[in-house]
Amino acid sequence: MRSAAEFIRGLPKAELHVHIEGTLEPELKFRLAKKHGIVLPHATVEDLRRAYEFANLQSFLDIYYDGAAVLRDADDFHALTQGYLSKAHAQGVVHAEVFFDPQTHTARGITLATVLDGLCRARSEAEREFGITCRLILCFLRHLNADEAMRTLEEALPHKDAIAAVGLDSSESGHPPAKFSEVFARARREGLPAVAHAGEEGPPSYIYEALDILEVRRVDHGVRCEEDSALLERLARERVPLTICPLSNVKLKVFERIENHNLKRLLERGLCVTVNSDDPAYFGGYVLENYLAVQRGLGLSQDDLTVLARNSIEASFLADSAKQRWFAAIDDYARSAAPPRLMG
């Protein structure tokens, strides 16, 4: 009998919600700190990992932004991205759409060109070596003001060919999507599609704003949509993808336990839900571990897992021809898996 881990690892899938800064493993953080002569507040890798206990989103962001301070030059961003894409490939990810936060780095004097140099070099190398494709999504930090976001967009436009979309992340509570309406309107005029974090800590009204004001193509997180039946019906009817991050949701106390997560209910309601890792270095798992967590905690079947993989391709920014190829590959893989039953 094929184990769940073996089946999931071999299942072709996309990852659509991962912050590259959130893939900074403690070992790399210590290595880069030594390279740049930075004294870290934790003495060892083990001490740092023990600090990854969070009460909410903000308590995580505090340590997350502190960690990003070791990223100083293009080679650092290259090493970070190379590490993530290598792990993703080993777990069956065939396409990744990766968030990056320019403002986290430009505020420290690191140019956007430096960040993109490292990200794009690693992306090209991974495509040649592994065949994995990768697109970059530039995110605005919602706890900063819209003028700063607009300046970041202006700085990014000369590099538009390297950027697939724009997004909105960081502290959600008190920072509704509408705050950035003009920034996203400008991005649309420049031909950049949009995504946005909404409905993780923020209410369902933030999801409506993301859809109707920012005109997003998909909603990142979105798990609080269940609080509004009309919104649930709309998301299902319009096939608006939700990029759900199960281990993150538990780590940040959105759900107390994985068994309480609403992913299966949303899937059964016909929503285009996907499984992703968010900030895997901090939340205890990459894509494989997130799929395994919901498979075991929610009793997902092989068919459910196959639907999640198909949803991830459907929700991506891949061309239709590429999507059709991956749909066929997923279906072929699922048919070849025998027996059609999974061990835990």
Residue 79, number of CB atoms within 10 A of its CB = 18
Written as six digits, the tokens of 230 are: 């009309």
Collapsing DSSP states into helix, strand and coil, what is residue 61? helix
Residue 46, number of CB atoms within 10 A of its CB = 9
CA distances from 104 to 110, 112, 117, 239 (A): 9, 10, 16, 32
Positive or negative torsion for Cα 198, 115, 13, 324:
positive
Which one of 15, 25, 200, 201 is the catalytic residue?
Answer: 200
Report which residue type is found at 73: D
Residue 324, number of CB atoms within 10 A of its CB = 12
Q: How many residues does the chain have?
A: 344
Rounded distance between C-alpha atoms, residue 105 and residue 114, angstroms: 10
Closest listed residue to residue 42, CA positions, set 67, 79, 71, 69? 67
Written as six digits, the tokens of 194 are: 């949009």
Rounded distance between C-alpha atoms, residue 58 and residue 186, angstroms: 29
Closest listed residue to residue 136, CA positions, set 149, 146, 122, 148? 122
Q: Report the C-alpha dihedral over residues 64, 199, 115, 280, rounded to 10 degrees.
A: 50
- 200 as an active site residue: the answer is yes
Rounded distance between C-alpha atoms, residue 149 and residue 33, angstroms: 28
Q: Could you check whether the bond before residue 193 is cis, i.e. omega within 30 degrees of 0?
A: no
Residues marked active site are found at: 200
